[in-house]
Amino acid sequence: MTTLTAIGRTATPWDVARVRADFPILSREVHGRPLVYLDSAATAQKPRAVIDAISRYYETGNANVHRGVHALSQEATNGYEAVRVLASRFLGAASPHEIVFTSGTTAGLNLVAQSYGGSTLRPGDEILVSEMEHHSNLVPWQLVAERTGAAVRPIPIMESGGLDLAAFEKLLSGRTRIVAVTHASNVIGAINPINAIAAMAHEVGAVVVVDGAQSAPHLRVDLQAIDCDFFTCSGHKLYGPTGIGLLYGKYTLLEQMPPWQGGGGMIRDVRIDRSTFAPPPERFEAGTPPIAEVVGLGAAIEYVMQWDWEALVGYEQDLVAEAAQRLAKVPGVRILGEGADRVSVLSFVMEGIHPHDAGTVLDTLGIAVRAGHHCCQPLMRRFGVPATIRASFGAYNTLDEVEALVSGLGQVRRVLGA
């Protein structure tokens, strides 16, 4: 197996073979060939520690949380709340009370849009979103704008893939109430300078909402340092289970927000004609939560917190840089956003070949990539393409797998005649 020393940027080598051994699925074959999994931006694979934690919960500790007086319920509650504390430490929040469990990034963004946006926006207010946003950080703002009379305005991106900060600064005004941006693009991997964006937005009194789905698994996030007001991420991209995510909100903002959903667990007192509500974060966690998924997320966070993150970030960035160099030598390949600093996500097109066709041929070789618009249709239009092939890398990917992808694209050209 080719190692990091073949790329050679980080001082501390990343032991990718050791990491791969923790992920059972990586030993399987697809269509009789070793699995080459290059779709971690869609969902990451799960280490044995996460799989075992979920199984152990169901086998030995299954119970509903909160208000239970029996031992199993109290154990489940303690475990559930311990993950909140752990998540707060992992993201650098000021307090565990600033962490809300959601079903994922999409739910977190909808919660902020409907609760914070729905209660504060007025006709004539403006919401700024970038052209590179996932639909999850665009459609919720469109919906709340229709309800409140606010307007959604785009922050342009440059051909290089980076956010146009000069244009962003010109868009900011006394009408700007919310700036919603991704920390790292799920299509081109471009990393946005949230510190600078937050500072500029705060100068005009706007709050900053960050989609961290792609940054949390690939960058060492420190929420107090970047000073955003809200931040969302998903467990399943962070090597944890599906159906669970995290929403961070500054507590002073969460306190002001009305409930998003009503039901058990989020109330203080209920009468027939009115109710009062629990403080955050309970106010935003109505009903029985995804307890096993929270347990699995806790195991995932514990697992990744053992890593040398400097080594991981360096390894992944070197890996994606090497992938870009090798892909650029494939005839007919065009990489989108080639000039941006990026996390380990690459999107490209092949002249004369539809991404879906390329992805189908690659699948026959055991290579899993994503083909489509990646829930980013405005970004596709910005680059003048209907869809792309996306290769996204995780902590377990190798240079050998990059080479398998490059070789596979040669097969794509032969099969499809381009």
Beta-bridge mates of residue 347: 390
Q: For helices 355-364 and 399-416, what crossing angle results, to 10°?
A: 120
Q: Are 260 and 114 in contact (CB under 8 A)?
A: yes
Q: Among 228, 233, 375, 376, which one carries the catalytic annotation?
A: 375
Interacting residues of 407 by C-beta distance below 8 A, sequence separation 6+:
none
In the block, tokens 């499809």 appear at 416
Residue 375 annotated among the catalytic residues of the structure: yes
From CA 154, how far away is CA 258, in angstroms rounded? 27
What's the order of all strands across the beta sheet hosting 345-350? Answer: 333-335, 345-350, 388-392, 370-372
Position 350, amino acid: M
Listed in order, strand segments (DSSP E) in 217-373 are 230-234, 245-249, 267-270, 275-277, 333-335, 345-350, 367-368, 370-372
Distance of CA 243 to CAs 83, 96, 296, Å? Answer: 15, 20, 10
**Cα–Cα nearest to 123, from 180, 177, 171:** 177
Q: Are 374 and 388 in contact (CB under 8 A)?
A: yes
Token reading at 197? 């964006």
Q: Are 63 and 412 in contact (CB under 8 A)?
A: no
Pairing label, strands 245-249, 267-270? unpaired
Plot region of 272 (φ>0 → left; ψ -120 to 50 → alpha; else → beta): alpha
Exposure pattern of 139-166 as b/e (b: 16+ CB <10 Å)? bbbebbbeebebebebbebbeebbbbee
Cβ of 27: how many Cβ atoms within 10 Å? 10
From CA 101, how far away is CA 82, in angstroms rounded? 12
Dmax (CA) of the chain: 70
- Which residue numbers are catalytic? 375
